[in-house]
A and B are shown apart, each in its own frame.
Chain A
Amino acid sequence: MPQPLLPHRTIPRRHACGCLLSAAFCCLAGWRAQAAALATDAVELVEVAPGLHVFRGVHEEATAANFGAIANVAVVVGNDSVAVIDSGGSFAWGQRLRQAITGMTPLPVRYLVNSHVHPDHIFGNGAFLADAPEIWGHAKLPAALAARGEYYLGRLREVLGSVATGTSVIAPTHLVSESRELDLGGRVLRLRAHPTAHTDNDLTVLDETTGTLIAGDLLFMERLPAIDGSLNGWLAVLDRLRQTPANRVVPGHGPAVASWPAALDPQERYLRHLQTDLRALIAAGVPMEKAAETAGQTERGQWRLFDDYNARNVVTAYAELEWE
């Protein structure tokens, strides 16, 4: 999820719909099937390119029923070792992921890459400690974890209850400030740290062997993108990211795989709509709370969880763009 376990959800916990605690009860197609699968079965990994397996997260808020597994996760298998890109939203789910990898390959998990600070991407880290992997993150990830980790953990415990047991904040052991290569044996992953966009600590991974970009939350598909860094920054990063020599992409949320770079288009369209709308509204002196009712609304119907995240995006982006 984008800005998971938001503090700011303003819907009363005791009421059913829309609230973090009870999103599961709320009109989400496929929830029951997904919950049942999680409860009884192993994590389902889809091989989207040779040796590159993806778990597809559900388009929901984190709940006990979905184990916080709402983000996509990628597993890349080389000749000597395995890299896991993001670890899911809880220790309990991370353990299931680890089991699924064991069922697939005997090779050791040598690298664990965290695409950014959000809890749905990193809270499974603990399940890999027995592998003693190198844990890679953006150079600004430790500071972001310092500022937010404890808070996210508290929220996770509130929302997942006993399912959160064992989950802890685990910092990266290796940092990337620009780019870095990881060798899995006959297979090189290129890590790239980005300036502030979705967050201030976004990291992408390019699997050069198959030409697959693992974009983390720099790319949302189907589910509304959430801005937790900078709207202008994100658009600038997308311009450069678009040049990446790849032929497919694994988004942070959305299908397991999509074609590159066309997959970027809907998200870029939404962000540009938001930027254009907000610049006009700010210039016209429309206050923040009124802007939240109109900006980006032409995108409504194009995205899952639009009503849950658009107004928040507007508030965040308004506070950024009013300084222009």
Chain B
Amino acid sequence: MISRRSLCLTASVLSLVVRTRAARTQDADPWPDIRDALFGDRAIAESDGVVTIEAPKRAYDAAIVPITVHAGISQAADRYIRTVHLIIDKNPAPEAAVFHFTPASGDATFTTRVRVNEYTNVRAVAELNDGSLHMALQFVKAAGGCSAPALKDAEKALADLGRMKLKQPAQVTLGKPNQVQLLISHPNFSGMQFDQISRNYIPAHFIQSVTVRYGDQTVMTIDGNISLSEDPSFHFSYVPMAEAEISVEVIDSDGMRFSQAWPVSPTPSL
């Protein structure tokens, strides 16, 4: 579960980052401020292979930029990736999402889709259960993703709000990490999209937390933000051991809750 404290912390960190950035010129490197705000003076190992990041060097659509963070270590009970901060340096809310994993995740590798507002470094900072920090980064060329108009079909988006889909592999493999994809229908309004008629910005309305359980084990939780794309998508892993349900609970910034569950019927692999 995501604690209230961590959400508040995220919010205050973001406002700090935004405030500090306002005083800087547009081309200044925002990373030192973000680093201070999120990690203080803790050491961060760079490019040591604990995580690697895969992102298009040049995005096709700045409002839907797929990012994969590969875990270089497995989720062993004694050493595993506990948290991955996905950071888009030059976005208005740089900390796009925080992913929390457990040994039940099997593999902390994940893919999601983000909005990118201007050319920027995208970073994954992983925190292991021993508290050490490990970073990977990649430069992404894309612009305008946060303020880009939303909703190609506004009526359908409203009708589908909160609908979810879980894509499972055709064959479930017991005892090993299986990758699945979770799709959530949600506009994830960034707060930077302008309504010409009301002369106001459409209020931010975004997915704030996602909790994924397999049976009674928590597989992954996500603290979301406005930098996640419309209709958020997450590829992640879990380790099926027996027949049980995958259940997902989503809470958005308006306090709306959506939940859904899918059966997992493992057929033992030969």
Contact = CB atoms under 8 A, between A and B. Distances in A.
Interface of A: 6-12, 140, 142-151, 169, 171, 196, 199-200, 228-230, 233, 285, 287-289, 292, 311-312, 314-316, 319, 322-323
B198 interface: yes
Given A10-B60, A322-B183, A200 B149 contact: no
B155 A10 contact: no
B219 interface: no
Contact of B141 (A12, A140, A142, A312): A12
B63 interface: yes
Interface of B: 56, 58-64, 66, 68, 111, 113, 119, 141-145, 147-156, 165, 167, 169, 181, 183, 185, 193-198, 202, 231, 233, 235
Contact of A200 (B56, B119, B152): B152
A315 B60 contact: yes
Given A322-B183, A322-B233, 16 more contacts: A7-B145, A8-B59, A8-B62, A8-B143, A147-B154, A147-B196, A151-B148, A151-B193, A200-B152, A200-B153, A229-B153, A287-B68, A311-B60, A315-B60, A315-B61, A323-B185
A288 B198 contact: no
Given A8-B62, A289-B56, A319-B64, A228 B195 contact: no
Contacts of B60: 8, 10, 289, 292, 311-312, 314-315
Contacts, number: 109
B59 to A, nearest CB: 5
Nearest to A144: B154
A7 B148 contact: yes
A277 B167 CA distance: 19
Contacts of A144: 154
Contacts of B153: 196, 200, 229-230, 233
B160 to A, nearest CB: 9
B152 A288 contact: no
Contacts of B64: 288, 315, 319
Given A151-B148, A196-B153, A323-B183, A142 B197 contact: yes
Greatest chain B CB density within 10 A among A146, A169, A289, A323 is at A289
Contacts of A200: 152-155
B142 A8 contact: yes
A8 B154 CA distance: 20
A171 B111 CA distance: 40
B165 A323 contact: yes
Nearest to B154: A143
Interface-central residue, B111, B193, B196, B197, by most chain A CB under 10 Å = B196
A147 to B, nearest CB: 5
